[in-house]
Chains A and B, each alone.
Chain A
Amino acid sequence: MEGYSYIIWILILPLLTFLVTGLGSRKISPTLAGIIGTTSMGICALLSIYTAGSYFGYYSNGVYPSLKVFDLPWLSFTENLSIHLGMVLDPISVMMLVVVTLVSFMVHLYSIGYLHGESRGGVYFSYLSLFSFSMLGLVVSTNLFQMYIFWELVGVSSFLLIGYYFTKPSAVAASKKAFIVTRFADFGFLVGILIMGYVGGSFEFDAIISRLTNPESPEFLTATGAGFLGISLLTWSLVLIFMGGAGKSAMFPLHIWLPDAMEGPTPVSALIHAATMVVAGVFLVARLFPVFFQVPVALDLVAWVGALSALFAAIIACTQTDIKRILAYSTMSQIGYMMFGLGVSGMGEAGLGYMGSMFHLFTHAMFKALLFLGAGAVIHYVHSNEVSDMGALRKKMPVTGLLFLLACLSISGIPPFSGFFSKEEILTAALMKNPVVYGIGLFTAGLTAFYMFRLYYLIFWHNKPYHDKPSPLPRKKEAPLTMMVPMILLGFATLVSGFFPFNNFVTSDGKPLEITFHADLSAIAIGVSLTGIALASVFYLRPGPWPDKIATALGGFFTTVYRKFYIDEIYTLVAKKFIIGTVSPVANWFDRNVVDGLMNFTGTVMGVFSDSIKVWQSGKIHGYLLWFFAGSMIVLILMFIL
């Protein structure tokens, strides 16, 4: 274990960078801040890759163990409940280290070009470093509470970065929405943690897993025995923890923040809202997977929520016109795949879904980051997010167009690109466990291909008279080098990562998993995807009347989908109209008039009472004398009588 103690630098470097660039944000230039951030993240990426190499290399012949490299007590509550801050190395955390540092490095590099000329660039890079630090801390957590800590920290970095353009009201609203919705989900997570600590007697992952997966252990018996509303505490705990994960991963119905989060700078969307933070929910479920596996109800919930979110988001994505929102819905849809991949998985030999889900997480991070960075380059050029302002850009930006196409093929599941392999495994796992979910997944795959190619065509083909815009687009064609290099690197990763023998490394029990290739299933999936692409080509390769006609034909359904099934409106109704608009004014009125009124009433009663006796204080000395005399006499008489 001592051999790995250097990995502490993977956490320290981003933290230091955050402090340096944050405190000195007004002293150092944005470019310098960018260079510092990029360098430190580059070192972290190298360290992570080296760690991955040595970890997977050293244990290549047996079971991958879970190594607690650091485990320091941070805050102890009781003898056995405490928060430890530590770093654990196991297959999924090592994989996540690589994903996070790599994408973060690319995004840092890209941001130098993207934010060129921004005066608050230093602040931006410090937030990025804060995010990287938090995300890395999250993935190496040894302890549920440590995860919660970093979970909140990634939430706040996301809030800060979405609200980076803080003078724009829509960005402010989006950042608040993102924070509050995930905070609401985190409430569930927190209660889940509390229940887990109560029944499991520990917050440590290894202790929880070893106790709660052993049906004979006393913890397991209490956890499944005691219940509330007829549901065992263990189920409650897992469902609530999953609620936290669903909020962070934008699963239905807690997804509403993700499309709005696209108000942030595009590189941020690539890093946080596509590749890393939003998969934290998947990571959380994967981390506790052995426990989830003990509770089929919870696992089924994960599967269904994932599948429905995948379908739901894909349907909405077909109707949207904002390039980043389409990508956001596709992210939600792909995370849905990862979720139901976990939900249909078994342990050990049957852990294909788990493995596929992690694999998809890995490949998705690469191609989705590429899609966002490509979109960023386009937006940087066109200065608009609306696809109606784009079109025929393949001539202006050939390299970007090619890379975008590559990523689209990958997400659509066309071999030999990476998305095909991972999605294939998830779908196979789904078919073995739950054919309905498989059906949903397959249909969603078709939709995915359709809307991604719709997007691709609308941006890069679809000759539209965009020249008619009052301000003609600048001559500058491709994005600057700092933006192109990360995109090309990610494109390369998208090409090759599918051939990575993931099944040998990241599995549910740490042992390599044998996978068999099902040619028939692959053929079906590819066929569905190709159908989607073909449809998109018919409709969107060139401007035509078909899309509008179909939209009109669908009528109310189209509007409903276009308005995202009115989920936002429902939330607004509950949150704004009901709680903020009704409950809180009533409570305020109650406080000012009833509670405070009661206090003032006490005062008033005292006043009335003293008013009624104050006339005795007439100011006339002879009156007082008389009272005095009378009083003395009464006392005297009483003395004689008694």
Chain B
Amino acid sequence: MISVPVTHILFVSFALFFIGAYGFFTRRNMITMLMAVELMLNAVNINFIAFNRYLYPGQLEGLFFSIFIITIAAAEAAVAIAIIINIYRRFKTIDSDDIDSLKF
């Protein structure tokens, strides 16, 4: 059954993580940034599952963790979108460069 080596999966998650990071750094739109964060979280999830499967097949901690992360990601998305909506109401934009009131 084990035909896909772990490096393939790690490559996918690695790519996914840095796509997310790249998006997070370059995009100015907050929704996109949020999506980029989700990508990074999912990259982590994949890593957890993969390592759990390949290193400690008898244990379930990795699965647990990824379920936690999915839950947190959902909550985080809800909170973040709420914040973004409020920002939109206040600033009429969701471009992160235009929102710099929180400073000295």
Contacts and interface: CB of A to CB of B under 8 A. Distances in A.
B28 A622 contact: yes
Interface residues of A, number: 11
Interface stretch (A277-285, A419-427, A533-541, A612-620): A612-620
Nearest to A625: B25
B96 A621 contact: yes
Contact of B97 (A617, A620, A626): A620
A614 B102 CA distance: 12
B89 interface: no
B24 interface: yes
Interface string B19-36: 000001100100000000
Interface string A617-640: 111111001100100000000000
B68 to A, nearest CB: 24
Contacts of A621: 96, 99
A618 B100 CA distance: 7
Contacts of B100: 618-620
A619 B102 contact: yes
B103 interface: yes
Interface in B85-104: 96-97, 99-104
Contact of A622 (B97, B101, B103): B97
B21 to A, nearest CB: 8
Contacts of B24: 625
A619 B101 contact: yes
Nearest to A629: B25
Nearest to B102: A619
A328 B56 CA distance: 111
Nearest to B103: A619
Contact of A617 (B28, B96, B103): B103
Contacts of B28: 622
Name the residue among B97, B101, B102, B103 with the largest chain A CB count within 10 angstroms.
B103
A614 B104 CA distance: 6
Nearest to A614: B104
A611 to B, nearest CB: 9
A617 B99 CA distance: 13
B100 to A, nearest CB: 3
A619 B91 CA distance: 14
A615 B28 CA distance: 21
Contacts of A626: 25
Contacts of A617: 103-104
Nearest to A610: B104
Nearest to A620: B100
Contacts of A625: 24-25
B23 to A, nearest CB: 12
**Which one of A614, A620, A626, A629 has the highest number of Cβ atoms from chain B below 10 Å of its Cβ?**
A620
Nearest to B27: A622
Given A621-B96, A622-B96, A622-B97, A615 B25 contact: no
Contacts of A614: 104
A615 B99 CA distance: 16
Contacts of B96: 620-622
B97 A615 contact: no
Nearest to B33: A621
A621 B104 CA distance: 14
A618 B77 CA distance: 25
A630 to B, nearest CB: 11
Interface in A458-472: none
Contacts of B99: 619, 621
Nearest to B26: A622
Contacts of B103: 617-619
Nearest to B100: A619
A242 B96 CA distance: 86
A89 B99 CA distance: 93
Interface string B38-56: 0000000000000000000
B104 A622 contact: no
Nearest to A616: B104
Given A618-B100, A620-B97, A625-B25, 4 more contacts: A615-B104, A619-B102, A622-B25, A622-B28
Interface of A: 614-615, 617-622, 625-626, 629
24 contacts: A614-B104, A615-B104, A617-B103, A617-B104, A618-B100, A618-B103, A619-B99, A619-B100, A619-B101, A619-B102, A619-B103, A620-B96, A620-B97, A620-B100, A621-B96, A621-B99, A622-B25, A622-B28, A622-B96, A622-B97, A625-B24, A625-B25, A626-B25, A629-B25
